[in-house]
Amino acid sequence: MVPKSLRVALFATCLTDTFYPGTGRAVVRLLERLGCSVEFPFDQTCCGQMHFNTGYRDHARPLAESYASIFESYDAIITPSGSCAGMVREIHPQLCGGSPATEKTYELSEFLVDVLGVTDVGAWFPHRVTYHPTCHSLRMLGVGDKPLALLRAVRELDLVELPEAESCCGFGGTFAVKNAETSTAMLTDKMTNVLRTEADIVTAGDNSCLMHIGGGLSRMRAGVRPLHLAEILASTEEEPWQALPAIR
């Protein structure tokens, strides 16, 4: 059981906050089901990843400083994004020195498996699913097969292995527009591999990559839905995930 005294904050990320509120709600629901009490500090905005990765370090620095002061008092900060967690843990210390907030920031699957020590989160999700390991969760954070362990424990979920899973989807932040054609060529191969699995759902631990893969699948009318890992793990028989009419 989670000690009641553990103060857990959600860092939703600017993208999920703005475009994917369902993912944020799913993280809250999931963590509360596992006994955490979750807070959402309103002062949070963005970790500065887009600015840093595009070369605008001076703009990223104040965002890193804000992050440190907003989250320093929490015992754990959980974010549904491998790349934002990587930005906070690996890059923030370079921008403004280490802080308690950067050290206690976890990507969702890391927090579930490493801190809470659970792989079976009591989820139920009767769909055919394939999992894309996002580059930063894989290579920057080293989450390994934690997300897969979580997915394997979901009841009635039909998990299909994604061919060439570890290849980048081509998003890369501003890379997707600065080198749009190359990015699209990478996306095409990723979508081809997703379609080869005949899965209904492609999941990942990062809505940015899912926005890219999902945006391509939607354009192709592929009939495959991108869905954040948190929303699968939040789904139960009593309160199942419901497909909304909108694309993600």
Partner 1 sequence: MAGTARNPVIWLDTPPFPKAAREALNDVQLRHNLRNATHTIRDRRAKAVGEMPDWEQLRLAGEAIKDDVLAHLDTYLQRLEEQVTARGGVVHWARDAAEANAIVLDLVRETGTDEVVKVKSMATVEIGLNEALEAGGITAIETDLAELIVQLGHDRPSHILVPAIHRNRAEIREIFRREMPDAPPDLTDDPPDLAEAARRHLRRKFLSAKVAISGANFAVAETGSIAVVESEGNGRMCLTLPETLITVMGIEKLVPTWTDLEVFLQLLPRSSTAERMNPYTSVWTGVHPGDGPQAFHLVLIDNGRTNSLADQVGRQALRCIRCSACLNVCPVYERTGGKSYGSVYPGPIGAILTPQLVGDMHDPQAAALPYASSLCGACFEVCPVRINIPEVLTHLRAEAVEAKGKHTPEAVAMAAAAWIFRDPKRFERAQKLGSLARLFARNGKISHLPWPGSKWTDSRDVPAPPEESFRTWWRNNRG
Question: Would you tell me which residues interact with partner 1 (CB under 8 A)?
Answer: 12, 14, 16-21, 23-25, 28, 40, 42-46, 48, 50-57, 59-60, 62-63, 66, 135-136, 138-140, 166-168, 170-187, 211-212, 214-216, 218-219, 244-248
Closest separation between CB of residue 174 and partner 1, Å? 8
Spell out the residues 6+ positions from residue 123 whose beta carbon is closer than 8 angstroms to its own. 153, 154, 155, 157, 232, 233, 234, 235, 236
Residue 79 C-beta: closest distance to partner 1, Å: 12
Q: Which is nearer to partner 1, 124 or 175 (CB)?
A: 175
From the CB of 231, what's the least distance to partner 1, in Å?
13
| Nearest distance in Å: CB 156, partner 1 | 27
Q: Which of 183, 98, 178, 113 shows the shortest CA–CA distance to 145? A: 113
Least distance (Å) between residue 197 CB and partner 1: 19
Instruction: For partner 1, give the closer residue by CB, 119 or 218.
Output: 218
- C-beta of residue 37 within 8 angstroms of C-beta of residue 71: no
Distance CA 243, CA 248 (A): 10
Shorter beta-carbon distance to partner 1: residue 147 or 170 = 170
* Termini Cα distance of the chain: 33
Identify the residue whose tokens are 């579930």.
Answer: 112
Identify which of residues 181 and 238 has a Cβ nearer to partner 1 in the complex.
181
Q: For residue 228, what are the β-bridge partners?
A: 204
CA within 13 Å, CB half, 73:
5
Task: Give 95 or 123: the residue with its C-beta nearer to partner 1.
Answer: 95
